[in-house]
A and B are shown apart, each in its own frame.
Chain A
Amino acid sequence: MTANVQDDWQHLQALFELIDRTPERARVQVLDSACTDPEMRARVLRMVRGANESESSVAHEELSLAGSGGRPTQFGPYQVLGVIGSGGVGTVYLAERLLGGAPQRVAIKVLSPHAAGRHFIERFHREQHILAMLDHPYITRLRDAGLTDNGQPYLVMDFVEGTQLDDYCDRESLSVEARVRLFLQVCEAIAYAHRNLIVHLDLKPSNILVTTEGTVKLLDFGTSKLLQPDESVTSTILATPAYASPEQLRNEPLTTACDIYALGAILFFLLTGQMEGGRRSAAVAIERAFKETQPQHLAAAQITEEVARTRATTGPRLQRLLRGDIDTIVAKCLRPNATDRYASIDALIQDLTRYLEGRPILARPQTALYLGGMFLRRHRFSAAITGLLVVALIATGVLAGWRQHEALRDGRRALTMQSFMYRLFKFANSNTVGKPTFSVTEFLELSLRLLPDYIKDPVDLRQAQLGIAESMYENDAYPQARKTFETVATSAHVAGDIAAEAEADAFAGHIDYANGDLQSGAALTERALKLSQDNSVPASVRVWSEIYYAWDRDDNGFRTDENLRLLKQAVDEARRGHLSERETADALYNYGEDVELRGDMKAAAAAFNETLNVYKDDPAALCEQSAVYGELGWVAVMQDDHARGLKLVQKAYDGYRRCAGPESRGALTEVIFLAGELVQVGRGPEALAIMNNALPKWRQLNGTSPDFSEPLNYMAMAELATGHAVEAEAHAREMVEVQTGKVDPKDRRFGVSHLLWAKALVQQGRFTEALPHARIADELLARNAVSPGAKEKMAEAHEVLLDVEARAARSGDGQMTAH
């Protein structure tokens, strides 16, 4: 093309556009001043005229093309009034018939004569069959069907006078909320069809009309299919690609999820005025279907002022409206994988209704959990750790919400938590912290560091910190948990946040007890109990404060009726305050432990069995369940049923291994009881083997706490049972060492230690040396011997003392030779 021709062409277009914009009466004048060539001027005028004429003539001739075969005038009793529309092979006529004097308008769908053929007729019958099954106020009704004089089938439908869904919404300037309400009608119609095993497969705004009364009418079931059980339906048809699900475009089996996808695409369009993912063309839709592109966010659509105006709001406000739950709902419909979408339209309807009512929706943004799953997969955590992680999620997010009884703030909190968890998992998955995070405790510590960026409200922040600290405690990370509880307690004290302070003190005190710091434990739990009586403290915090105060005191030897009363009160309060079943069961468990300690085995068994009813149904409560089995095992032992005791303890140990891992505190605790039972039934070597394995782990976990005397106790027992008296003597001595200064010198536990010491010496024939130990044991174990276990020990200590006294007197020098 020469430069000259190109110039002329551009000039022509410029002139055309100038004149096209100019009002008709001024055109000649403007043209004269813009162009000197008379031929060019005439041409431009002709073109502008032609461009206008071509538009006005379209409307006229449109129908004539459709009805090229000569328009019929009558279908059975129906008189044809005109043509509504026409496609390649079919035509829809407007017709009426006189019924009892009142004209009844109908739409008649008929095949074009050239489209006659077996397949078409079959297909026509299929639509007729499907439509006949559908009787719903939001679906156009099939009234009649028949054959024309020359054998062409036709369908008679209700004639719907209405406006296309999207046009209606824009014309009425419907708000986001009103659009969702109208859209719910469409959902209901489709839900109805699905219940009849019919999938629509070509849902789009042009198939949905809204009547002047504002009622939705679904028009076209021509593409719909009847789902047969156990038969996967595929389709070679190309539904409108902009609304078609990826599996439709990929020619994969079709399900009701296709319609859910189309509904999501329609809702996206109704809300933003744009197609999701910019999929105006088939090529883009196909590309997205094959690449499994995740859905675009509603708020990412470009909102023009016009779009905002037709939604009765402003651009920025519409942007805000389209964030959050409604975005989650639409995205869940538009997931590329059918299984990630709503399982049914009813679930979609439920969430849309909840959204309209301002209640939390059930679909949650994928990100946090998805990334959480990634994190877990990457690190191949055991099921136990997964459970703990879920505990962490729940503790930080959900429990924080429950505990403050601020349901209204839940939505906002959930959002914050979501973005927080997102970043947390992102960090955990990256090398940002120097190396990929690999332990749950590290993960929790990281979450503690990130929290303040996300939760600005100090009250909320403390709740979340408490949740994490409790997860650390559950995860046996006592030092980290203790430190966090202390931080929270300090900050809560300064701010006058009594509930948080009570909760933090209760847990911190409980940890101090476990670490053997009895004085601090007693002081903190006492403080928590006092604070928890304040009215602002939620029932759950009060219950835990009562439990830790009373149980830790009883367990550490300050046994009083007041403590038992408090534990009973905690159970009642949990029931009265409608705490969750789990929390009520937890309170009951502690009560059971306490009555067990006091020797009421029947009451203990009753309480434990009741908790088991709750824990059994909760897969996340496997650890609690195992603890109960352990306690029931102990009850059996106390009732002298060692076979049953062994079985239950074994069950408890196995459960803990699964729920928390073989090196968890729970599993290690059950191991020592298991060893005890094995000794009882005469399987000493096995007991020795498992204790040899467990003791170093215990020593690592809390080797300086007086609680360490417990595993030492069972170790020594196993050693005595297998003739390792020297080792037993050393372990008995260590028991006394870890207790000294921490346990009341008059405490029975000293008695247990000295009894073992005495027995170890007796086994070595060192009777004179054994004598003082046997005396201490006899004295201490006679105190407070209420429970059967304690009574048994008391009897044993007395027997040992008598034996030692006799032997020491008989052979005063025997010990020297044994040295």
Chain B
Amino acid sequence: MADAEITQLLNEWREGEPAALDRLFEAVYPRLREIAGALFRNERLENLLQPTSVVNELFLRLVRKRELRFEDREHFYSLAARIMRRVLMDHARDSKRLKRDGGVRVPLDENLVWIDASDSALSDLDEALLKLDRVDPVKCRIVELRFFLGFTASETAELLSTSKATVDRELRFVKGWLYDQLHDPAT
């Protein structure tokens, strides 16, 4: 797909066009994997496969080629976080496929370690996040950036133009809420 479309799709996604996300995923995900693969082959062992590194690298490449404007960074990173979340869930659903592709693993953020990383738990988590997205999309984005993309609270706050204190506060609430969702069979 033409790269200029990324900006266009980001706009559509921001304006609430649901199909835009799928198309963005198709456009961006292969490139993320390509970058992850290249980094994996050539470079640094530690940190290397942190999702942030991979996403930063893609952001850089898009900016270098002027396919993306700096101004789009909030949407780009939000999108990337969403993609990472989907990758993780795909991994949980079909670990074989990822192994066949070279074993690229996206580690779960330590803040989510308390969730038992079994396939079923992850799929429950995905369900819960879908629900959260419907009720409070901003909180959902915080979770994605923070946990799936590995952003620090400060980075998350900066990207969303809010304070670190707010991000911390929201996260604490979401953690409690998620815990309730995942541990109480009634909900």
Contact = CB atoms under 8 A, between A and B. Distances in A.
A251 interface: yes
A111 interface: yes
A46 B175 contact: no
Nearest to B132: A9
B180 A57 contact: no
B43 interface: yes
Interface stretch (A87-95, A592-600, A797-805): A87-95
Nearest to B60: A286
Contacts of B159: 281, 283
Given A46-B184, A114-B103, A286-B60, A58 B47 contact: no
B64 A250 contact: yes
A236 B42 contact: yes
Interface in A228-262: 235-238, 240-241, 249-251
A222 interface: yes
Interface in B145-187: 151-152, 154-155, 158-159, 169, 172-173, 175-180, 183-184
Contacts of A235: 43
B45 interface: yes
A87 B173 contact: no
B59 A286 contact: yes
A47 B154 CA distance: 24
B42 A54 contact: no
Contacts of A795: none
Nearest to A118: B41
A278 B155 CA distance: 10
Contacts of A9: 135-136
Given A46-B183, A281-B158, A88 B48 contact: yes
Contacts of A250: 64
A561 interface: no
Contacts of B64: 250-251
Contact of B113 (A46, A62, A124): A62
A50 B40 contact: no
A744 interface: no
A236 B113 contact: no
B120 to A, nearest CB: 18
B130 interface: no
A178 interface: no
A111 B45 contact: yes
A786 interface: no
Contacts of A102: none
Given A47-B179, A50-B179, A283-B73, A57 B43 contact: no
Interface in B30-68: 38-50, 52-53, 56-57, 59-60, 63-64
Given A61-B113, A62-B110, A88 B73 contact: no
B113 A283 contact: no
Contact of A237 (B43, B105, B155): B43
A414 to B, nearest CB: 37
Interface residues on B, range: 35 or more
Interface in A109-131: 111, 114-115, 117, 119-120, 123-124
A237 B49 CA distance: 11
B92 interface: no
Given A9-B136, A50-B183, A17 B42 contact: no
B39 A237 contact: yes
Nearest to B66: A290
Nearest to B157: A280
A1 B134 contact: yes
B45 A87 contact: yes
A58 B115 CA distance: 10
B179 A46 contact: yes
Contact of A50 (B50, B155, B158, B180): B180
A111 to B, nearest CB: 7
Contacts of A240: 47
Contacts of A281: 151, 154-155, 158-159
A156 B49 CA distance: 23
Nearest to B135: A9
Contacts of A114: 103, 105
A51 B172 contact: yes
A48 B136 CA distance: 19
A87 B48 contact: yes
Contact of B45 (A16, A65, A222): A222
Contacts of B172: 20, 51
A484 B42 CA distance: 69
Given A89-B49, A286-B56, A58 B42 contact: no
A48 B173 CA distance: 8
A572 B111 CA distance: 80
B135 to A, nearest CB: 5
B107 A53 contact: no
B108 interface: yes
Contact of B43 (A90, A220, A236): A236
A51 B180 CA distance: 9
Nearest to B48: A88
Given A238-B53, A281-B155, A51 B176 contact: yes
Choose among A9, A50, A111 the residue with the greatest number of B CB atoms under 10 Å from its CB.
A50
A287 interface: yes
A90 B110 contact: no
Contact of A280 (B59, B70, B152, B179): B152
B63 A286 contact: yes
Nearest to A39: B186
Nearest to A237: B43
B49 A88 contact: yes
Contacts of A62: 110, 113
A171 interface: no
B39 A236 contact: yes
B41 A119 contact: yes
B70 A287 contact: yes
Interface string A401-424: 000000000000000000000000
A65 B110 CA distance: 9
A433 interface: no
Nearest to B76: A283
A223 interface: yes
A283 B107 contact: no
B64 to A, nearest CB: 7
A13 interface: yes
Contacts of A89: 40, 45-46, 48-49
Nearest to A8: B135
A27 interface: no
Nearest to B134: A1
B130 to A, nearest CB: 14
Nearest to A249: B60
Contact of B179 (A17, A54, A115, A278): A54
B42 A90 contact: no
A606 interface: no
A43 interface: yes
Contact of A238 (B60, B73, B107, B177): B60
A773 B103 CA distance: 112
B46 A222 contact: yes
Interface of B: 38-50, 52-53, 56-57, 59-60, 63-64, 70, 73, 77, 103, 105, 107-108, 110-111, 113-114, 117, 134-136, 151-152, 154-155, 158-159, 169, 172-173, 175-180, 183-184
19 contacts: A43-B184, A46-B183, A47-B180, A50-B180, A53-B114, A57-B114, A58-B114, A65-B107, A87-B46, A88-B46, A89-B40, A123-B44, A237-B48, A238-B39, A238-B60, A280-B155, A281-B159, A282-B52, A286-B63
Given A47-B177, A47-B180, A283-B70, 7 more contacts: A17-B173, A20-B172, A57-B113, A87-B45, A223-B43, A251-B64, A282-B56
Interface of A: 1, 5, 9, 12-13, 16-17, 20, 43, 46-51, 53-54, 57-58, 61-62, 65, 87-90, 111, 114-115, 117, 119-120, 123-124, 202, 220, 222-223, 235-238, 240-241, 249-251, 278, 280-284, 286-287, 290
Closest 8 CB pairs of A and B: A50-B179, A87-B46, A88-B49, A47-B176, A51-B176, A282-B56, A283-B73, A90-B45
